[in-house]
Amino acid sequence: MENTKLPPSSPTSPTTGFSVPTAEKIDGFPRRSMRRARQRRSHSSSQFRYQSSQIELTPLPLLKDVPSAELHDLFCQKLQQCCVLFDFLDCVADLKGKEIKRAALNELVETVATTRGILIEPVYPEAIKMISVNIFRTLPPTENAEFDPEEDEPTLEAAWPHLQLVYEFFLRFVECPDFQPSVAKRYLDQKFVLQLLELFDTEDPREREYLKTILHRVYGKLLGLRAYIRKQINNIFLRFIYETEHFNGVAELLEILGSIINGFALPLKSEHKQFLVRVLIPLHTAKSLSVFHAQLAYCVVQFMEKDATVTEYIIRGLLKYWPKTCTQKEVMFLGEMEEILDVIEPTQFQRVQEQLFKQISACISSPHFQVAERALYFWNNEYILSLIEENCHIILPLVFATLYRVSKEHWNQMIVSLIYNVLKTFMEMNSTLFDDLTSSYKVEKQKELKRERERQELWGRLESDSQRRLQLMEEASLNLRNLQEHQTPRHIHTQPEPSSTKTA
């Protein structure tokens, strides 16, 4: 049985800050953020579309004023009244109607939160209908095609004054002690959940916040929907990774998943492992990783803490998708790797150490000092240092040449002094090995150069040889064609290309 609870402190703040050097800001080209700042906050809404004729609302009596026998009827009437939608892009249109609906929604929220016994069976379909009519809509096209969630102001939902109350009602409804999952599941079905998940793409962060909490409650209470919800989140992520690269609610969905993973039963089902390997790890390739990296790293570490045997998949996966050109992402990867190494089991560490330290040594030689610095900080982590010490005989030969070279070449003095510290640490760990490596450094360098020369010679021969073979092949096929032309001149155009085997 899986249990779910939100993590004590939800991981919302990125672990690593990245500031743009001030030099970049005074280069004469205004940064996007400055350009944006001048624009007004934009509002958009696709909500108001299907209303062909506007119904005039008349205020109903207050819920608290009616005898309890009539309460449910009036409650349902109010729910029906709230199914009327208003045009919020025209802010002065039908102010009276808007106010009536707002008051009704407020009353509904209050009643469902405070009045016990309000959720009797006939209320469910009316409540779900009211929620569906209000929140389900095709999200409007984004006004800024290159919307950058880090730099640009999001487009806010214009109908929020009503929408917020509808979400509030939805939340109170699901959280209500009277809420009966066995009744609700008839109305909160798969189709409903699918539409709810699509809404996570909204640009409005307020809406995503509500959706996150509500979906989490629904996941917790409606057990029959759990597998379906997970599958659909998978599909959303896969579409995001491989098709559109655009979905605004990745961070929120990951946050929910973080607590879901926390509740996974052991041993892990293969479905869950597949989710880790084929969805969570590839999510690291996204261009907008920085927006949801904290939540993603939390999920990954959750998996490791559940079951240490997935460690190898995780680390090899991260190494496969290691950023090639984006240093900002590289710093994030290093941060995540440190979080992983912080909780890794020593036996798991040994399985991946070689590949891992090849990458780390590549990072150390990065000309971007933040990347090199972040990698060198691993040696300040006591647990990682102890792992390195235990496996010094393997790790030191992997990184030695890089450390040696970069200590002489790096432009940034801080990196150079960090490397000296690391070298000193190694020297203390295993001075014999260290001395051996120092004395053989030059020889190794020579060997490397020799190998490179040999490689080039090999390719040189291969190429000239292939040229010759290609000529032979072409001549042979030409001969063959001539031969065929003489024999069967009429069919020549229908013949397939002469095959090269005949040239042998």
Partner 1 sequence: FHPAAGPSEPKMAGADGDDSLYPIAVLIDELRNEDVQLRLNSIKKLSTIALALGVERTRTELLPFLTDTIYDEDEVLLALAEQLGNFTMLVGGPEYVHCLLPPLESLATVEETVVRDKAVESLRKISQEHSPVDLEVHFEPLVKRLASGDWFTSRTSACGLFSVCYPRVSSTVKAEIRQHFRTLCSDDTPMVRRAAASKLGEFAKVLELDYVKSDIIPLFTALASDEQDSVRLLAVEACVSIATLLPQEDLETLVMPTLRQAAEDKSWRVRYMVADKFSELQKAVGPEITKNDLVPAFQNLLKDCEAEVRAAAANKVKEFCENLPEDGRETIIMTHILPCVKELVSDTNQHVKSALASVIMGLSTILGKDNTIEHLLPLFLAQLKDECPEVRLNIISNLDCVNEVIGIRQLSQSLLPAIVELAEDAKWRVRLAIIEYMPLLAGQLGVEFFDEKLNSLCMAWLVDHVYAIREAATCNLMKLVEKFGAEWAQNTIVPKVLGMANDPNYLHRMTTLFCINALSEACGQEITTKHMLPVVLKMSNDQVANVRFNVAKCLQKIGPVLDNNALQTEVKPVLEKLAADQDMDVKYFAQEAISVLALA
Helix (H, G, I), strand (E, B) or coil at 108: helix
Q: Pseudo-torsion of CA 280, 284, 287, 288, nearest 10°?
A: 70
- For partner 1, the closer of residues 139 and 334 by Cβ is 139
Cα–Cα distance, 157 to 277 (Å, whole number) = 36
Cβ-based nearer residue to partner 1, 64 or 231:
231
The distance of closest approach from Cβ of residue 264 to partner 1 in the complex, given in angstroms and rounded to an integer, is 21
Buried b (16+ CB within 10 A) or exposed e, 75-113: bbbbbebbebbbbbeeeeebeebbebbbebbebbbebbe
Name which of 93 and 470 has its Cβ closer to partner 1: 470
Q: List residues bridging with 316 in a β-sheet.
A: none
111/202 with CB nearer partner 1: 202
Q: How far is the CB of 503 from partner 1 (least distance, A)?
A: 6
The residue (of 46 and 386) whose beta carbon lies closer to partner 1 is 46
Q: Measured from the CB of residue 53, what is the shortest distance to partner 1 in angstroms? A: 16
Distance CA 104, CA 63 (A): 9
Shortest approach of partner 1 to residue 283 CB, angstroms?
12
> Which are the contacts of 184, defined by CB distance < 8 A and separation ≥ 6?
124, 128, 174, 221, 222
Residue position matching structure tokens 């958009």: 44
- For residue 215 the two structure tokens come to 């979906």
Smallest separation, CB 459 to partner 1 (Å): 7
Give the residue with the Cβ less far from partner 1, 25 or 455. Answer: 455
- Residues contributing to the site for partner 1 (CB under 8 A): 46, 48-50, 138, 140-141, 191, 194, 235, 238-239, 242-243, 278, 282, 320, 358, 454-455, 458-459, 461-463, 465-466, 468-470, 472-473, 476, 496-501, 503-504
Q: What are phi and psi of 276, to 5 degrees?
A: -60, -50
Q: Which two tokens stand for residue 123?
A: 């209320």
DSSP 164-185: HHHHHHHHHHHH-TT--HHHHT
Q: Are 105 and 159 in contact (CB under 8 A)?
A: no
Nearer to partner 1, 23 or 504 (CB): 504
Q: Which is nearer to partner 1, 100 or 193 (CB)?
A: 193
* Smaller CB separation from partner 1, 435 or 448: 448
Whole-number minimum distance, CB 455 to partner 1, in Å? Answer: 7
CA-CA-CA-CA torsion sign (3, 8, 14, 16): negative
Q: Shortest distance, CB of residue 147 to partner 1, whole angstroms?
A: 14
Closest distance of CB 461 from partner 1, Å: 5
Nearest to 362 by CA among 326, 329, 335, 322: 322
Q: How far is the CB of 204 from partner 1 (least distance, A)?
A: 17
Q: How far apart are CA 476 and CA 488, in angstroms?
A: 18
The rounded distance, in Å, linking the Cα atoms of 118 and 446 is: 83
d(CA 299, CA 260): 9
- Whole-number Å distance between alpha carbons of 398 and 393: 9
Is the CB of 5 or the CB of 287 nearer to partner 1? 287
Other Cβ atoms less than 10 A from the Cβ of 197: the count is 19
* Smallest distance from partner 1 to CB 357, Å: 13
Q: CB nearer to partner 1: give 180 or 190.
A: 190
Q: Which amino acid is at 87?
A: D
* Least distance between partner 1 and beta carbon 326 (Å): 15
Nearest to 109 by CA among 139, 130, 84: 130
Residues 353/394, Cβ–Cβ less than 8 Å: yes
Amino acid identity, position 420: Y
